[in-house]
Amino acid sequence: MPIYEYEPVGRDCLICNNRLEILQKVSEEPLSVCPYCGMDIRRVVSRPQFQMRVPTDPDRAAKRGFVTYRKSDEGTWELAAGEGPREIRRRPGRKAEDDAPDEPGELRVRE
């Protein structure tokens, strides 16, 4: 069963902290009233999360146009299948927690 997020309509709620998560069946209708405070609520789009439980084959993915990399060392990934750079390295002195996706030059690519 998925977890849906709801937020109050029109004003803030101090009881629900302006956002609540409800475990519901896909077939259930969206809630319109908060079960905790009684305010009008609406379901909002949230970030999806999923996990692949079937191992993927790099060669099969490459036949469909995907490039697959395998972690070879700390901060280094090597090409497993597909067309692309043979190695990708993180900039020296950087940790994974420090990465910001919008910073230029975060990864070094070796052709």
Give the chain's domain count: 2
User: What does 60-85 look like in DSSP terms, one character per residue?
Assistant: HHHHTT--EEEEEETTEEEEEESSS-
Same domain, 62 and 92: yes
CA distances from 85 to 15, 20, 69, 89, 107 (A): 52, 44, 10, 11, 12
Same domain, 77 and 99: yes
Please report the pLDDT score of residue 42 as a whole number.
92
Domain, as residue range, for 103: 58-110
> Per the structure block, which two tokens stand in for 31?
């809630």
3-state SS assignment for residue 61: helix
Please report the pLDDT score of residue 75 as a whole number.
84
3-state SS assignment for residue 111: coil
pLDDT digits (tens), the chain, 111 positions: 688 899 989 888 888 788 888 888 889 999 999 888 888 999 987 777 777 677 778 888 888 888 888 888 888 889 999 888 888 888 766 665 554 444 444 445 554
